[in-house]
Structure 1
């Protein structure tokens, strides 16, 4: 399915959202509460996740190339084979995140907080 350019904000209820092989390219999710979402094999290239709460989420084989995710909170999330190439992750929080084979090539990770994250 294609949800390119969709808008999810803090008022959108995403509880239990599950998407597989879905294009969310250029989606606007600034400040969204995406706790517990499951995204498998999706493309989120150029997505706006600035200050989004992506806690306890599962992102598997997801493409977040060039995502704007400054100050996003990925606490306790499972990130497996996620491509953050060229993403803006300044001040992003990855506390207690389980990271399995993520690509951070050319990503801006200035002040990103990976303390207590496991894997890589």
Structure 2
């Protein structure tokens, strides 16, 4: 089971976005570059295959208790907490077209509110040379 941020870090909680991984573009790449190399293809007019049952939990409870881990464990940058308008706080943005269909979000979500369903159209990763 995933531990809450306060249980793991006690009183000193680091800014997860302050720690940047350096990509050398030979052995290590950004998440979005990896999505491109996966060859993932999605039909643009298909129904959304990622459903968050209650986005208020993402904004309120998950931010405080777990630090929105979906932003970090998703290998394809599908989930982002973004501030759309200054001063209004952050909201969950789902970049479903980045999804590589690994189901990590469905498995690791601490509240079990992310529902991953099989996409229509037979899209998804097209890994070469594996």
TM-score range, shorter chain: under 0.3
TM-score normalised by the chain length of structure 2 = 0.24
TM-score normalised by the chain length of structure 1 = 0.25
The structure whose residues are more often helix, as a share, is 2
Which structure's CA Rg is the greater one? 2
Bigger relative CO (Cα 8 Å, ≥ 6 apart): 2
